[in-house]
Structure 1
Amino acid sequence: MTVKFHGHAVLSFNNNDTDVIIDPFINGNDLTDLTVENIKADYIILTHGHNDHVGDTIEIAKSNNATVIAPVELAAYAEAQGVENTVGMNVGGEGEYDFGKVKFVHAFHTSSYTDGEGVTHYTGEPMGLILTINNKKVYVTGDTGLFGDMELIAKRNGPIDVCFIPIGDHFTMGIDDAAYAINELIKPTIAVPVHFDTFPPIKQDPEEFKNKVNTVCQVLKPGEAVQYS
């Protein structure tokens, strides 16, 4: 199993000759190693509607004829922007695709998209993801604060092999809450911090997080992949 980190909260993987990208915020993301023109995607998965997660979804979907899997209201917005293939899902729902399974779970955050004309669109509830890839379970918490049902999510869908969790604070949980979530609630085999350093309010030291968790922590640079056998 290989999942790559591309700065902020952008993740990608290939399984069964199928390319998947999650929350493709590329333009405006100074930390990413990607360019929109070079992205190959069969599927795009979105956790919520904020601009730093929807990112370049519309352009990528159109140029690749990719399917967008997203919370139902966000999928409808993508369709209204001319994306031909969308799958709208909701909390608790699971779907099986060429690359594996996707289950949407709760996250505690907000969700809206502001278009180029400054109009804000309601894009449904924010969500996390449970990915099943070659029998490995990956928990992408999405943008969220700490909440107790992370433990239930992990118990019902785990054991969790890899957890991608935000540490940036200000807009999401910070280092201390993220460490508590990893140590006491989710208890994954590997923890990977995301959603930090992109903007001044979310500058954080991932090594501090690494020192506070009691499991393997991989701090990835953009373009690096989580190592799991």
Structure 2
Amino acid sequence: MLEIRYLGHSAVWLSDGKTKVIIDPFLTGNPLAAASVAEVQADLILITHAHGDHFGDAVALSKKGGVVVSTFEIATYAEKHGAKSIPMNIGGTYRFEGGWLKWTPAWHSSSFPDGTYGGMPMGVILELGGKRIYHAGDTALFSDMRLLGEVGLDLAFLPIGDHFTMGPEDALKALDLLKPKKVVPIHYNTFPPIRQDGEAFAQKARERGVEGHALKPGGVLVLE
């Protein structure tokens, strides 16, 4: 069983009852955040790229006991600011008790708010609780998503905000390539340029044979 909590924007918390994982923990300063740093505990803190709305509270969460796992550039930057980290890169696999994660390509950019280079942007495939999850990070549509789907995805988190990432139409095309059982839209409605109708996207996903869930910040999805 895998419990998933959507914390707003692209922040997702997952737990199989033993290992707790958070992806892109943008909580402080996020107008839609469903939790504060004080309320979140994570063993692994996965960062897809260095932009402030994704790196977010990585260091603060690491100081509570978690480990930042990301590109070499992001991991070493986090270490310099007091975090524990595991430096990786695209294509690399990290195995831990009860699961594994593998970094995938993403088409975007990656730099910290202070201008420091953050390495290549990434997505991640995570196996936890016997389920396989794909978090696309910030990305445009790309045809190699078909290869990512070959692992057999139980759930995909896809950005639909447009403007900075793919929008709803391209995210639906991504479903045709990835073929996940379920999809949750992310990276929308946080700021005016990325206003979208998450429920409309979820309905169109269902029409394509994919179970769509437009979770509100704080919403929970359990995969049995």
Name the TM tier (shorter chain).
over 0.9
TM-score normalized with structure 1 length: 0.92
Q: Is the 8 A contact 1:16 1:99 kept in 2?
A: no
Taking the aligned partners of 1:179 and 1:70, their CA distance within structure 2 comes to 27
CA contact (8 A) 2:109 2:120 kept: yes
What is the TM-score normalised by the length of structure 2? 0.94
Q: Note the C-alpha offset of 1:3.
A: 1.4
Q: Distance in 1 between matches of 2:42 and 2:29?
A: 20
Q: Quote how far apart the aligned CAs of 1:49 are.
A: 0.4
What are structure 2's unaligned runs of at least 5 residues?
Answer: none
Match of 1:4 in 2: 5
What RMSD, in angstroms, separates the aligned Cα atoms of the two structures? Answer: 1.2
Aligned twin of 1:112: 111
Cα distance, 1:19 vs structure 2: 2.0
Corresponding position of 1:100: 99
- Counterpart CA distance in 1 for 2:167 and 2:103 is 23
1:92 CA displacement? 0.8
- Does residue 178 (structure 1) correspond to residue 177 (structure 2)? The answer is no
Listed as ranges, the matches of 1:197-212 within 5 Å are 197-212=189-204
C-alpha deviation, 1:98, in angstroms: 3.2
Q: Is the 8 A contact 2:51 2:111 kept in 1?
A: yes
| C-alpha deviation, 1:16, in angstroms | 4.7
CA-CA distance at 1:99 after TM superposition: 4.8
Q: Does 1:123 align with 2:118?
A: yes
Q: Secondary structure of the equivalent of 1:12? A: strand
The letter of the residue matching 1:191 is: V
Whole-angstrom distance in 2 between the partners of 1:17 and 1:69:
18
Runs of 4+ in structure 1 deviating by more than 3 angstroms, as ranges, are none
SS where residue 79 of structure 1 aligns? helix
CA contact (8 A) 2:199 2:213 kept: no
Residue in 2 that maps onto 1:46: 47
Indicate the percent of aligned positions where both proteins have the same amino acid. 42
Is the partner of 2:221 in helix, strand or coil?
A: coil
| Aligned-pair CA distance for 1:30 | 1.0
**Letter in structure 1 aligned against 2:93:** E
1:160 to 147, 150, 153: 153
Q: Is 1:16–1:98's contact at 8 Å kept on the other side of the alignment?
A: no
> How far apart, in 1, do the equivalents of 2:70 and 2:37 lie?
19
Provide the C-alpha distance between the structure 1 equivalents of 2:223 and 2:15, rounded to a whole number of angstroms. Answer: 15
Task: Check if 1:195 corresponds to 2:187.
Answer: yes
Counterparts in 2 of 1:17-166, with a 5 A limit? Answer: 17-62=18-63, 64-83=64-83, 85-114=84-113, 119-155=114-150, 158-166=151-159
**In 2, Cα distance between equivalents of 1:179 and 1:102:** 24
Query: Would you say how many aligned residue pairs link Structure 1 and Structure 2?
Result: 220
Q: Which stretches in structure 1 are left out of the alignment for 5+ residues?
A: none
